[in-house]
Structures are given as structure tokens and as C-alpha cells.
């Protein structure tokens, strides 16, 4: 099987997953694309089109079985896979990520944190040891680490990412304000907080200036 799905569709999948989980929690068993459209905010035809990319799942006149669709989307999202994960940077953000509930519902198993600060190295956060960032390449290789979450300031990010790539990392969840340049086989997903904050700032300013605001 080969398929190529657009990033726009992919970025909607976690939202389907979240709304379907909410429906399951409310004991809703089945839902039409029209009803789903009302709560999720995409058009019914958009929903049918999105899900048809993966084989449909809906039945004419019945709609979607919520639990089945939830499970299918979980599988498509790869949430049943397990990935050994490390967090680079044991500051506030690194600690927030280490405690982050989203990890518990996905297959990312956090194994350790890394930091440059000698006062943090050797400490533990919730059973997770903080190691010296100097030892990162060796650790990644020895412990079959597949994912690294980067929560450090921008200056050393590219060189650390290079080491991670050399050590065979599969993916990076990058919170640093840097566009990493890495071999194509390393998957990078960025969370650029400043870009989000500045977008908010832009929209506030436009509103203040009396300009019409765009739709998302």
C-alpha cells in the first residue's frame, strides 16, 4: 500500500481524535458526518473527504461508529507504536514536557533528560534522571532512543541536532526557535511558541487599528 496524504489533512487528524475521544467519554456510539461537522467545525463534505483518504469508515445512512473510528484514527496516527524518548533541557519547559499528559496517551516513553547545567545533572524529575548533555550521542545509541524533544535556547540546537542525527534518531520535537537543517530521514516537528505569540500580537494590533480580521 502506498499513499500520500497532504499535511493539511494530517494536521486535522489529531482534532478528529480529540473530538471522538470526547464523544466516547459521553457514551456517544454513532455520529453522522453532519453531526460531527457541527461540533468539530469542518464541513460534512470535508470530513467525508478527509476520512476517505484512509478508506472511508462511514456507512451510508448510519454514519460513523465512534469507537471504531477513534481506534482507526489512533492506528493511523501511530499511537499504538512505542518510541524511546529523551528530553533535552531540564528547565521549566523541559520539566513541563516531562510531566505532560499527552505523552501518557501516546507511545512516547520518556527515558531521561539532558542538560548543560552542572547543578541539574544527576538530579531526578519524577524518576527520570538528568544526564550531562555531553553524553547524549552515546546514550541515544546505547538505549535505542528514537525521539528527542528539544527544550533549550537556540544557540547550541543545530549542533546537538547534528549529534542526534549521527546517533540515528528518528524524530525531533523542536521547541527552540530554529529551523533545523538535518538529513531528510530525520522527521522534525516544530512548536514555535514565539510565532504563535506574535500572531496573537498581530491580531490584537489589527483589532486596535480597526482593521478587519482574517478567518483562520
Determine if 159 is a binding residue for its own copies (CB under 8 A): no
Determine if 123 is a binding residue for its own copies (CB under 8 A): no
Quick one: which segment of 49-57, 59-67, 105-113, 132-140 binds its own copies (CB under 8 A)?
105-113
| Among 18, 34, 38, 124, contact with its own copies (rule: CB under 8 A) | 18
Please name the residue that has the C-alpha cell 476517505: 52
CA distance 175 to 117: 19
Asked if residue 120 belongs to a known ligand binding site, the reply is no
Shortest distance, CB of residue 153 to its own copies, whole angstroms?
Answer: 8
Asked if residue 93 belongs to a known ligand binding site, the reply is yes
Question: Which residue(s) pair with 63 in the sheet?
Answer: 59
Determine if 168 is a binding residue for its own copies (CB under 8 A): no
**DSSP per-residue string spanning the chain:** ------HHHHHHHHHHHHHHHHHHHTT--EE-HHHHHHHH-S-HHHHHHHHHTTT---BTTTBEEHHHHHHHHHHHTTTTS-EEEEEE--SHHHHHHHT-HHHHTSSEEEEEEEES-TTTTT-EETTEEEEEGGGHHHHHHHTT--EEEE-S-GGGHHHHHHHHHHTT--EEEE-SS------TTSEEEE--HHHHHHHHHHHHHHHHTTPPPPP-
Asked if residue 107 belongs to a known ligand binding site, the reply is no
Determine if 182 is a binding residue for its own copies (CB under 8 A): no
Whichever of 43 and 99 has its CB closer to its own copies, that residue is: 99
Determine if 155 is a binding residue for its own copies (CB under 8 A): no
Determine if 79 is a binding residue for its own copies (CB under 8 A): yes
Shortest distance, CB of residue 165 to its own copies, whole angstroms?
Answer: 14
Please name the residue that has the C-alpha cell 496524504: 5
Whichever of 44 and 76 has its CB closer to its own copies, that residue is: 76
Determine if 100 is a binding residue for its own copies (CB under 8 A): yes
| Among 84, 157, 179, 180, contact with its own copies (rule: CB under 8 A) | 179
Q: By rule CB under 8 A, what string of x and - marks binding of each residue 37-56 to its own copies? A: ----x---------------
Count residues near its own copies (CB under 8 A).
Answer: 74
| Among 54, 57, 103, 139, contact with its own copies (rule: CB under 8 A) | 103
Amino acid at each position: 500500500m502506498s499513499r500520500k496524504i497532504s499535511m493539511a489533512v494530517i494536521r486535522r487528524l489529531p482534532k478528529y481524535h480529540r473530538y471522538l475521544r470526547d464523544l466516547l467519554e459521553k457514551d456517544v456510539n454513532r455520529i453522522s458526518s453532519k453531526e460531527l461537522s457541527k461540533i468539530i467545525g469542518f464541513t460534512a463534505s470535508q470530513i467525508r473527504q478527509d476520512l476517505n483518504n484512509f478508506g472511508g469508515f462511514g456507512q451510508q445512512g448510519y454514519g460513523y461508529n465512534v469507537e471504531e473510528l477513534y481506534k482507526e484514527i489512533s492506528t493511523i496516527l501511530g499511537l499504538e507504536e512505542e518510541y524511546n524518548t529523551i528530553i533535552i533541557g531540564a528547565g521549566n519547559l523541559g520539566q513541563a514536557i516531562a510531566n505532560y499528559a499527552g505523552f501518557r496517551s501516546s507511545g512516547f516513553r520518556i527515558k531521561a533528560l539532558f542538560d548543560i547545567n552542572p547543578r541539574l545533572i544527576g538530579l531526578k524529575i519524577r524518576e527520570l534522571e538528568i544526564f550531562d548533555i555531553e553524553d547524549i550521542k552515546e546514550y541515544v545509541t546505547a538505549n535505542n532512543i528514537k525521539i528527542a524533544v528539544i527544550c533549550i535556547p537556540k544557540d547550541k540546537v543545530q549542533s546537538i541536532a547534528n549529534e542526534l542525527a549521527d546517533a540515528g534518531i528518528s524524530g525531533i520535537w523542536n521547541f527552540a526557535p530554529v529551523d533545523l537543517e538535518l538529513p531528510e530521514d530525520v522527521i522534525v516537528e516544530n512548536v514555535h511558541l514565539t510565532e504563535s505569540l506574535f500572531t496573537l500580537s498581530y491580531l490584537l494590533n489589527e483589532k486596535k487599528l480597526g482593521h478587519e480580521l482574517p478567518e483562520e
